[in-house]
Amino acid sequence: MKKIILATVLAGIGATSALAADIGASTPYSKAPMMAPVPTWAGFYIGGNVGYGWGSGTTNSAALASANTLGTGFLRQVDGSFNPRSKGVIGGAQIGYNWQIGSLVAGLEADIQGSDIKGSFNNSTLHQNGDAIDGSAHTVNERLSWFGTVRGRLGTTVTPDLMLYSTGGFAYGQISNSANTNVIDNDGPGTSMTYPASVSKVKSGWAAGAGAEWMFARGWSARIEYLHVDLDKVSAIGNATPATDVFFRGTSINYTWRTQENIVRGGVNYHF
């Protein structure tokens, strides 16, 4: 009996050892695969952009009080509103910082842009029956040499690597505008007068828009953005030139330019 029990125990131990050996051979140890890091928008970034802009501003001309004595014919030839339809390429760089809480991303961004946005307008008005003024010709030029913005951004992540955002804040830029009106009077003193004026200065205003940004690789994102830039109004006075004719002496025209630009640009950012 003792021999039977001993044989049974030894057989069980042998079977268990064989089973353990089989299990160890069929299930080798291996490390669990590493999880891909979840993209984050938080932190500093810097990048560049290029785009296209077109103007939606206007230039207005109006005779001043001293010119009203020439009558309604002069006013009809001088007073007007013109759109130079400015357009051109822009390009520059941006730097910013983002904070992220869940799917909400808030940030602050500053950019500086070189600009070739410019436009011109030319027209002429013929004689009006009964008017003392025979006609006039208007020339308007507008140019935005460069501009920059400092804006807040507020976005939401549609997916971890895709963000939609709105943006708005302060804008400034260098404008260079000019205008001239040539007034012709053949019925009266038989002369023509020009009223040239120009202005070049840095103006401030506001900017607002929206965009989408895609984190296409670790630390790198691409974006497309629309921005409306409004640099408000600037004025200059054009006096009669030459100022020798008695009929036109002391007359002047006030020109007012409104600088408004629409910007569409694409860019790439590196996130630190």
Q: Which of 27-31, 114-118, 122-126, 215-219 has the lowest mean pLDDT?
A: 27-31
| Cα(66)–Cα(235) distance, integer angstroms | 17
**For residues 94-98, average pLDDT:** 98
CATH architecture label of 42-271? Beta Barrel (2.40)
User: 24 φ, ψ to 5°?
Assistant: -60, -35
Is residue 219 pLDDT above 90, yes or no? yes
258: its two tokens: 């409104």
Measuring CA to CA, which residue among 226, 234, 122 is closest to residue 175? 234
Q: What is the pLDDT of residue 243?
A: 66
pTM metric for this prediction: 0.80
| Cα(154)–Cα(229) distance, integer angstroms | 18
Is residue 9 very low, low, confident or very high in pLDDT (cuts 50, 70, 90)?
Answer: very low
129 and 91 in contact (C-beta within 8 Å)? no
223-269 pLDDT, tens digit each: 999 999 999 999 999 988 876 666 677 788 999 999 999 999 999 99
Is residue 74 very low, low, confident or very high in pLDDT (cuts 50, 70, 90)?
Answer: confident
- Spans of all domains in the chain: 42-271
Question: Cα dihedral sign for 63, 123, 199, 239?
Answer: negative
How far, rounded to the nearest angstrom, does the alpha carbon of residue 182 sit from its chain's CA centroid? 35
Is residue 29 pLDDT above 90, yes or no? no
Cis-peptide into 242, omega within 30 deg: yes
